[in-house]
Amino acid sequence: MAVFLAGAVCPAFAYEPDFPAISMTVLRYEPFPAQPGSYVKLWIRIENFGMKPAENFMVVLDPEYPFYLDPSENDTRHIRYLEGFENILIDYKLRVAPDAVQGDNELKIRYSTGDRDIWVQKTLKVNVQTLDKNIDIVSVSSRNVAPGGTVPLEVMLLNNGDASLRDISLKLDLSSLPFYPINSTSEKKIYLMEKGKSTSVSFELMASPTADCQPYKVPVTLSYKSLDGTQYSRSDYLTIVVCSMPDLVMGLESSEILYSGTSGTVTVNIVNKGLSDVKLLTLELLGGDYEIISPASVYVGNLESDDFDTVDYDLYINESGEIPLQFLAAYRDANNGEHKAEFTVPLKIYTKEELSRYQLVPAQDNTGLFILLLLAAVVAYWYYRRKKKKK
């Protein structure tokens, strides 16, 4: 019957024993740390600190979960003879279970000298760690926000690694950006994420009222720890777009056409009431109950916030009543998004009777007639006086 002696002889002796004194230690293993689901090669250093040689020396590796001996390996090493104060190296190729627990895992080994029914067992430790400790930002959900508005920001995280991770922190760096956290801080924390699991963190941000309409890159730092306390950190960027929808209005500025059957210049105005600028604005007058004499499409260009411009069209109108002028505006917003909008500007065309009734036609100037009548009276009076003197 075999006898097992727990523990191993300590390599540090206060004296030089006159018997074989064996010490067994892990010299190294590759890769370090060992990885779940892969192979690891282990080198064990065996030293004889005694004065006498170890004869009939035999070492047997007894791997248990999560370690398995490679099928090509023999668990026994026959050393036969190890002189006092000498050392040797032996090696084994082991397979690590895919679901091995991270951290130090025990590996049993035993040896025998002389009488092979007496065995000394030693426990070695091999550190197992997954190298795939990774949390990914898999999606970001937000929307465009106007200056002065608020926007929810949701970030979805996924633990793509082979092990659970703890103390996860997602921090937004808003120090140089026109955004401010609302009802929370700019950092969110998660205590634990199991492997393969996902979770989301939410922020609510307010854009500064003076923020320019453009995309902003928001630096974000994602940090976390493995279960053994190893710290990991990486940086990335999120994008938030500040953009206010353009708000254009059109109206009638002036018109030279008052009654039907006449032509003239009609001037319309277009106003940008929005918070952002309008770029590459083109205004087109569509067909209707009028004839367009001038070009129908006019390039206006850029129109800043709280600004306006006017456009002239030469028209001939042969109808009376309220004539709808139909316009199509095509433009880009501050972030080069394309937009189109239709507008209707009413133009009142009067009949001649309405012009007279409303006194929209200036009164006729009778000064010339008065002068002619006055001259006629003077001539008549002069002629009368002259004829009277002759008599």
**Shared fold status for 3-128 and 248-357:** yes
pLDDT computed for residue 391 by the predictor: 54
Q: Is the pLDDT of residue 386 over 70?
A: no
Query: Is residue 356 left, alpha or beta, with left meaning phi > 0 and alpha meaning psi from -120 to 50?
Result: alpha
pLDDT tens figures, 272-305: 998 888 999 999 999 888 999 999 999 999 999 8
Out of 36-40, 145-149, 151-155, 349-353, pick the least confident.
Answer: 349-353
Q: How many CB atoms lie within 10 A of CB 343?
A: 17
Domain residue extents for the chain? 3-128, 135-242, 248-357
Mean pLDDT in residue range 205-224: 93
Q: State how far the Cα of 46 lies from the Cα of 59, in Å rounded to an integer.
A: 10
Cis before residue 31, ω within 30 degrees of 0?
yes
Number of helices and strands in the chain (H, E):
2, 25
Mean pLDDT in residue range 349-377: 69
For domain 135-242, the CATH superfamily is Immunoglobulins (2.60.40.10)
Q: State how far the Cα of 132 lies from the Cα of 38, in Å rounded to an integer.
A: 13
Distances in Å between the Cα of 26 and the Cα atoms of 90, 115, 125, 254 are 10, 25, 8, 96
Per-residue pLDDT band at 10 (split at 50, 70, 90): very low
Q: For residue 20, which amino acid is it?
A: P
Better-predicted residue by pLDDT, 261 or 179: 179
End-to-end C-alpha distance for the chain, whole angstroms: 184
Q: What is the DSSP string of 233-295?
A: EEEEEEEEEE-PPP-EEEEEEEES--BTTEEEEEEEEEEE-SSS-EEEEEEEEPPBSBEE-S-
pLDDT computed for residue 360 by the predictor: 65
- CATH 2.40.440.10 is held by the domain 3-128: no
pLDDT tens figures, 44-72: 999 988 888 888 888 999 999 999 998 88
Cis before residue 33, ω within 30 degrees of 0?
yes
Mean pLDDT in residue range 37-41: 90
Q: For residue 116, which amino acid is it?
A: R
Q: Is the pLDDT of residue 5 over 60?
A: no
Q: Are strands 278-285 and 297-303 parallel, antiparallel or unpaired?
A: antiparallel
* pTM over cut 0.85: no
Mean pLDDT in residue range 373-386: 68
- Name the DSSP class of 1: -
pLDDT tens figures, 96-143: 998 888 788 999 999 888 766 788 899 999 998 776 678 888 999 989
**How would CATH label the architecture of 248-357?**
Sandwich (2.60)
- Name the DSSP class of 372: H
Q: Which tokens belong to 328?
A: 């199509």
Better-predicted residue by pLDDT, 1 or 202: 202
pLDDT tens figures, 72-105: 889 999 888 888 888 889 999 999 998 888 788 9
